[in-house]
A and B are shown apart, each in its own frame.
Chain A
Amino acid sequence: MENQESLKPGSPDWILIGAVAALLSLGLMTVYSSTAPMGVRFQGDSGYFLKRQVLWLGVGMAALILFTWLPYRFWSRISVPLVLFAIAMLVTGVVTGSGRLLVGASVSPVEFAKLAIVVFASHWFAAEGEPRRSLVRGISSLFATGIVVALVMAQPDISEAMIMVLVVAAMYLVAGGSPVRFLALAVTGVALLLILVMSMPTALTRLQPFLDSWKDPLSSTNFQLRQGIIGLGSGGLFGLGAGGSRMAHQWLPAAHADSILAIVGEEQGFLGSLVLIGLFAVLIYRGLHIASKATDAFGGLLAAGSTFLIAFQALLNIAVVTGTIPFTGISLPFISLGGSSLVVTLCAVGILLSVSRSAGTGRTAQRLMEQYWMLITNRDLSSGRDVWVEFWQKLQARMAGVLTRDWRRPHRHP
């Protein structure tokens, strides 16, 4: 009974939609100020790149609405063809030597492959029986994933391959995979990665300056990193104001791409960076909440995988720009200029919203928002405080649960 009711499509998660809308607005603003000088110089139009981004945003929004409306179980059925198609695209890219971009340099097969892998892994981990507890199945699914990852590496695009591995690994963990096996796989993975990095000269040349520049980024030989940090730091607490970026005037190469956070920080200051990170935190919280409320394993994994996909990219990007990890090319979801990335990210949000509709998180979100609305309109502080008190009590209970839990227990099953 309860099951059937939850299968009825409900309202999407409006908190998530709000966070995404805010990120997209911040993104368009920053894309404009980081591409305007370039647009004027090369195209004679400061809005040239913004217009293209808005066009892609239109495509992405259409996909988002379609995927929100589409029952997510559809993805389970086409997961295998999806991966095969992704492999085909990647192989084409490798064979033709056209590198990371296809179809007149406008479609990036890697972006598509990331989403396909999330769908495939969800399908695989949620498959009948108790797949989460099977080492063989786990490994074989990882093997299938491995083909895609290997192809992405062959692009060559180590950063994206790393994102995929991280997403699939995290999905394996939340799907109920054994933490011991997860750790074993993680150690093996890191070891493999290290071997790979050591064998690739380009990776080494990126790693060495990073180690030198950890203490003092200003003396870094990595121009991109140094300029990005100068941009971030010169913003201070409140920033130089929208459109006030100076690094965007060719001082920070390709400021609109992977280092766009530097422009956000320069223009909006530390407070702006906090808002940006906060919005991603909201997105992660709502995504994982949706995953936990999903009515079936596939939906839950799909929601978790989509959230991981966005979250890992965002966190790794911020870590790279702040010099916390070695420099690699990862774009910042919702913010960086780039059509394929934007459309695929919005597709992932659409899938997430589709799950939220049947998970019923939309209703709780609505209720929360209604309470806040009352709080704002009636200035009823006590009701607002109640919401927070409830939130903290729940969080404390959860944390207590996590800390006191015997993690091995579910896996002792004979």
Chain B
Amino acid sequence: MNLTSRRRELVYSALNTTPSHVQKAPDPNRLLAVGLSMGLAILLLIGQLFRYQVVQHADLRQASDRQVSREVAVSAPRGVIVDANGRTLATDILVWDVSADPPLLTDAAKDRLAPRLGWLLDMPVEEVEAALSSTSAWVQLANGVPAATGKAILGFGEEGINCDPRALRTYPDGALVAHVLGLVNATGSGYYGVEGYYDAVLKSIAGSVLVEQDPLGEEIPGSSRSLVEGRAGTSLVLTLDANIQRKADQVLQQALKTTGAESGVILVMDPHSGAILASVSLPSYDSNEYAIADPGLLPDSVVSSMWEPGAVFDTITWAAAVDLGTITPETLFDDTTCIQVGGRSLCNWDMKSHGRVTAREALAQSLNVVAAQISTAMGSDAFYTYLRRFGFGEMSGVDLAGESQGLLRSPGDANWFPSDLGTNAFGQGIAMTPLQLATAISAVANGGFLMKPYIVQRLMLEGEAQVWESEVEPTFVRRVLSEESAEAMTYMLVDAAERSGPKVPGYQVAGKSGTAQIPTAYGYDPVGTIVSYVGFAPADDPRFVILVKLDRPETPLSGSEIAGPVFKAVADWLLQYWGIPPRSPK
């Protein structure tokens, strides 16, 4: 055995391996070396994973959220408005906006879609074709199409045709209750009327949902999480009765036609509660299409516009004097043609002297001279105190938006003149809204109790499980007349109505007419007048107060001759509608 082979033996024994002709497994140490370097690589990779998954987790999670998550608003419906009988006056409906992304559509798809879209959207096919072949990235096809059409278009499943739902405020009665209800603009805010006054109540709270989506914008199934729970708006039940409203509307339209008046108002109230039963002011507009309406028509003249009422206001003057005790219905007055008050000459409307008349007769004949005698006898302090107690010169607090407070000047005000004490007594130089006057007359009909006018009788919020309701109680404001004074006033008004007012067979009506001049910047309009009639029935147990006002009628007749029949038409119908038994056979 030579040295070489000896060394070989030594090496093999050291390695504990068999000689080369017996093939042996790979060197364990080299395997271990490779294995350990792989182990190092694994440690490095674990370090990398730790860096991303633990250290930078928050940042990367945020990056992922930014890509994947999207907050989607979920709209809830605005509160519904119904009338006293539960008839829907305003509600949200779902309509669809149809648009297209022309770049996403192939020519074949355009040819295929144009006739179908034209038919569904009721558009000429050429028009649809032109829109679809437009070069812009997005074209509007139709706005606010009905749900059925929207769903049919959605059913095409065509990428490039979009159909988005949207809530639209709808008023089934259109112009009939437009002034009372007001309107809701495109951003969902209410203006005028009930929509304006109760905007915050009616408004819904939009919820939002966090959805995860893929790059094409499609929702990942089951990924949506509610962020903010949406809430529907509170619904309102009005005191208004759509049937009375419709009748009043018909009557007023007829009256405008026959008298040629520019505009008019019929207001029906319940004197005991102050509830508004009907409120018509013409010309009206359609709340559904407020955008194309004359902006001047949007405010409700029943609460927003004031007028100098003229002789109907005598009622208030007489009532104040009776309550103060300065007159009784039978107090005698010397009526002259004119009277000097505060250095101004105030004359009767017919420029005649009526001699010795009772207060009752003077009221029925609307004698301005007697009115001025009454107010001056009361003194300005007492007279204006009563006017303010009746609610003139301040807002009634009705729950309708845009109320005006009227115009009442009293001694001490900058432009009050001593003669105003006389003119105010017969409704000149003093301005009010129809609602203010009707409310004051209601106090007379209500035994002297002034009630706050209101139109919403109940608020309803429908929750998941239960309905929350809140009843609105009538609000008593103050006592303005004693029981006896109110009775005496009713007696005089019945007399006035019987002498020259509208007759309703079988029923006793109390009422007063007025024919007022129209103030302009240059004194009173020499031609135009505003005629009005305000009254209640039945006189012994008043169920309603009706105020009629017609602006600038073409026929040269007095308030009782023009506005009286309008009052009668509504009163007649109402007595029958409510089935109120007559006092005497017709």
- Give chain A's interface residues, CB within 8 Å of chain B: 37, 126, 129-130, 170, 173-176, 217-218, 229-237, 246-247, 249-251, 265, 269-270, 273-274, 277, 280-281, 284-285, 288, 291-301, 304, 308, 311, 315, 318-319, 322-324, 359, 398-399, 401-402, 405, 409-410, 413-414
Contacts and interface: CB of A to CB of B under 8 A. Distances in A.
Given A230-B64, A249-B220, 13 more contacts: A229-B60, A232-B53, A233-B63, A234-B60, A236-B53, A246-B220, A269-B53, A284-B35, A297-B23, A297-B25, A304-B31, A322-B52, A359-B25
Contacts of A414: 4
Contacts of A129: 20
Given A130-B20, A246-B220, A296-B23, A233 B45 contact: no
A323 B45 CA distance: 10
B4 A281 contact: no
B122 interface: no
B11 interface: yes
Contact of B38 (A270, A284, A291): A284
A95 B215 CA distance: 39
Interface in B34-50: 34-36, 38-39, 41-42, 44-46, 48-50
A291 B23 CA distance: 13
Contacts of A218: 59-60, 63
B29 A251 contact: no
Given A232-B52, A246-B68, A249-B220, A274 B46 contact: yes
A232 B49 contact: yes
Contacts of B56: 233
Nearest to B67: A251
A250 B215 contact: yes
Given A176-B27, A236-B54, A277-B45, A409 B34 contact: no
Nearest to A296: B23
Given A236-B53, A298-B23, A401 B29 contact: yes
B133 to A, nearest CB: 29
B28 interface: yes
B527 interface: no
26 contacts: A37-B220, A174-B30, A176-B30, A218-B59, A229-B52, A232-B49, A233-B61, A234-B64, A237-B57, A246-B64, A249-B220, A274-B49, A277-B46, A281-B39, A284-B35, A288-B31, A292-B25, A296-B24, A297-B23, A308-B34, A315-B38, A315-B45, A322-B45, A399-B32, A402-B33, A402-B36
A291 B64 contact: no
Nearest 7 pairs of A and B residues by beta carbon:
A233-B60, A300-B25, A234-B64, A270-B53, A297-B23, A322-B48, A249-B214
A250 B216 CA distance: 9
Contact of A37 (B8, B11, B24, B214): B214
A305 to B, nearest CB: 10
A301 B67 CA distance: 48
A170 B46 contact: no
Contacts of B53: 232-233, 235-237, 265, 269-270, 273
A413 B12 CA distance: 11
B44 A324 contact: yes
Contacts of B38: 284, 311, 315
Interface string B487-505: 0000000000000000000
Contacts of B23: 126, 296-298
B1 interface: no
A409 to B, nearest CB: 7
Contacts of B42: 277, 280-281, 315
B557 to A, nearest CB: 79
A292 B60 contact: no
A129 B19 CA distance: 10
Contact of B35 (A235, A280, A285): A285
Contacts of B215: 250-251
Contacts of B11: 409-410, 413
Contacts of A230: 60, 63-64, 67
Interface in B47-82: 48-50, 52-54, 56-57, 59-61, 63-65, 67-68
A174 B32 CA distance: 9
A231 B65 CA distance: 10
B15 interface: yes
A288 B59 contact: no
B325 interface: no
A294 B25 contact: yes
Contacts of A318: 45, 49
User: Which of B23, B26, B30, B54 is packed against the most chain A CB atoms within 10 Å?
Assistant: B26
Interface string B201-220: 00000000000111110001
Contacts of A311: 38
Nearest to A232: B52
A125 B46 CA distance: 34
B21 to A, nearest CB: 8
B496 to A, nearest CB: 81
A311 B48 CA distance: 18
B49 A273 contact: yes
Contacts of B20: 129-130
Contacts of B223: 246
B52 A292 contact: no
B49 A270 contact: yes
A15 to B, nearest CB: 15
Nearest to A130: B20
A242 to B, nearest CB: 14
A292 B31 contact: yes
Contact of B61 (A175, A234, A300): A234
Nearest to A227: B67
A298 B53 CA distance: 42
Contacts of A301: 26
Nearest to B69: A246
Contacts of B220: 37, 246, 249
Given A281-B39, A398-B32, A323 B48 contact: yes
A308 to B, nearest CB: 8
Contacts of A269: 53
A405 B15 CA distance: 11
Contacts of A170: 34
Nearest to A308: B34
B57 A234 contact: yes
A252 to B, nearest CB: 10
Contacts of A324: 44-45, 48
Contacts of A270: 49-50, 53-54
Nearest to A318: B45
Contacts of A280: 42
